[in-house]
């Protein structure tokens, strides 16, 4: 059961979560004309009155860019200001997830982006581990990741998530934790809501941007960390069969963080995951502000 934070930002004001309600005629509900963001917040392990947010600026920039694809001008600084105030008003006492949403709020019935009102809302919910940290099982989905030619995949658009929902449910109903989707060329693209990494012969490999992936913020962070730590990295197309013989595989995202993969369909993967665990330990230390080198990635919000 989801436990939502009590205060939301809705229609330019802060209201109780239960009062933030949309019309059944809302354009985004019918046509997927929306864009989402999402970021984790944790309590500082050394100060429960301090909230830590990982790469807040980057999350706000991405949502601002996504809004632009919907013909909506929403500055990143405005998004940031509202997110910070939502957190301050809610005074969370446990780890949580913030969900900002840009959406076509008009009540028209034509599938279009022009001459349709847009709006912006923010709410939050308590969130622990999204996936089991000890390792997950994956299947290759029968559903294909969309192409950037059919949908602007540089944006985190709500319409794109129907494929993610189909793939996730197919995976779970067939006995797996997660799905990995291929693109139209039959190459590895991404999970239902996460980017994919693999390690072969000490090299960190991930599908490149031309493989119809979302420009993941956690993905970008991992690539930066790996290069700084001397781990060879490469972004390129990845074959399905290459995953099955990899030394290590993991998925990553804001909600999942780093989730190691222990099995892909009928193919077990090695239980020793030295590079995955090194990166995971480093990333957790950074998000908890225990790493002095990357403190600029973490915003601090004091709760009165």
* Domains in the chain: ranges and CATH: 7-126 (3.30.470.10), 136-287 (3.20.10.10)
Confidence of residue 46 (pLDDT cuts 50, 70, 90): confident
- Write out pLDDT tens, residues 252-289: 998 878 999 999 999 999 999 999 999 999 999 999 99
- Write out pLDDT tens, residues 68-116: 999 999 999 999 999 999 999 999 999 999 999 999 999 989 999 999 9
Predicted pLDDT at 132:
78
Strands (E), 145-275: 178-182, 188-191, 195-200, 203-206, 233-235, 248-253, 257-264, 267-268
Phi, psi at 141, each rounded to 5°: -70, 150
pTM (predicted TM-score): 0.95
Active-site position among 118, 156, 168, 282: 156
Active site residue 156: yes
Strands (E), the chain: 7-10, 13-16, 34-36, 39-44, 47-54, 96-104, 118-126, 136-140, 178-182, 188-191, 195-200, 203-206, 233-235, 248-253, 257-264, 267-268, 298-302
């Amino acid at each position: 059961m989801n436990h939502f934070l009590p205060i939301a930002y809705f229609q330019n004001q802060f209201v109780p979560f239960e009062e933030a309600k949309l019309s059944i005629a809302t354009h985004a509900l019918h046509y997927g004309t929306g864009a989402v963001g999402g970021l984790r917040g944790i309590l500082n392990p050394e100060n429960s009155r301090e909230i830590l947010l990982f790469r807040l600026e980057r999350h706000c920039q991405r949502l601002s860019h996504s809004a632009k694809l919907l013909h909506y001008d929403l500055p990143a600084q405005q998004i940031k200001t509202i997110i910070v105030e939502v957190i301050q008003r809610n005074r969370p006492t446990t780890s949580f997830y913030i969900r900002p949403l840009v959406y076509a709020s008009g009540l028209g019935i034509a599938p279009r982006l022009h001459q349709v009102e847009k709006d912006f809302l923010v709410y939050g919910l308590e969130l622990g581990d999204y996936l089991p940290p000890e390792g997950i099982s994956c299947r290759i989905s029968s559903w294909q990741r969309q192409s950037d030619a059919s949908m602007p995949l540089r944006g985190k658009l709500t319409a794109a998530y129907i494929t993610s929902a189909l793939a996730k449910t197919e995976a779970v109903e067939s006995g797996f934790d997660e799905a990995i989707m291929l693109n139209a060329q039959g190459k590895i693209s991404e999970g239902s809501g996460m980017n994919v990494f693999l390690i072969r012969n000490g090299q960190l490999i991930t599908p490149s941007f031309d493989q119809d992936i979302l420009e993941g913020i956690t993905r970008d962070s991992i690539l930066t960390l790996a290069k700084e730590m001397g781990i060879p990295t490469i972004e390129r197309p990845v074959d399905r069969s290459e995953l099955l013989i990899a030394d290590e595989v993991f998925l990553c995202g804001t909600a999942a963080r780093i989730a190691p993969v222990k099995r892909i369909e009928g193919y077990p993967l090695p239980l020793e995951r030295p590079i995955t665990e090194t990166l995971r330990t480093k990333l957790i230390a950074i998000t908890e502000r225990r790493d002095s080198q990357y403190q600029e990635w973490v915003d601090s919000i004091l709760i009165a």
